[in-house]
Amino acid sequence: MENCSIFLKIRQTADGVTDESELFTRGEFRFHDGSYYIDYDESEATGYEGSHAQLKVDDNMLMMTRTGTTFTGLVFENGVRHYCHYGTEYGDCMVGITTSFMRQNLTSSGGEIHLKYSVDVNAGLMTENEIRIKVRM
């Protein structure tokens, strides 16, 4: 059931090169058992066409699960490094996700999420990332 508009702006920097992408899509936004949920289908723009993404957001943590053509489970928590499962078209791996900044101001009528985080493999930095998500009812 689509009940909201979702706008994602993604910035990724690797080896000094920054790439930006934007996605505008429709999805579902709801509040359940103390957490907000955002569900949407991925597209070619994100590189995960054929997959479904779900974000579970509470005051201190965001969990992102992607299912479909790949499986990914990422955890974002301010100042904490989490080991997470990351699926790609080339195979699966474990990555470290260290969140340096997370702010959300979601309410029953939507809102925004702002994340800054790094991704590492075997403790070697792969990318620095920034994501802004806006949800509008």
For range 116-128, the mean pLDDT: 90
84-100: pLDDT as tens digits? 988 777 888 889 999 99
> What radius of gyration, in Å, describes the C-alpha atoms of the chain?
14
Query: Could you tell me which CATH class the domain 4-136 is placed in?
Result: mainly beta
- Cα–Cα separations (whole angstroms), residue 60 to 57, 67, 81, 104, 115: 8, 23, 14, 9, 12
For range 122-134, the mean pLDDT: 91
CA atoms within 13 A on the CB side of 135: 26
Domain locations along the chain: 4-136
Compute φ and ψ for 51, nearest 5 degrees.
-110, 160
Residue 70 pLDDT > 90: no
CA 66 – CA 42 distance, rounded (Å): 9
pLDDT of residue 127: 93
9-43: pLDDT as tens digits? 999 999 999 999 898 999 999 999 999 999 998 77
CA 111 – CA 56 distance, rounded (Å): 14
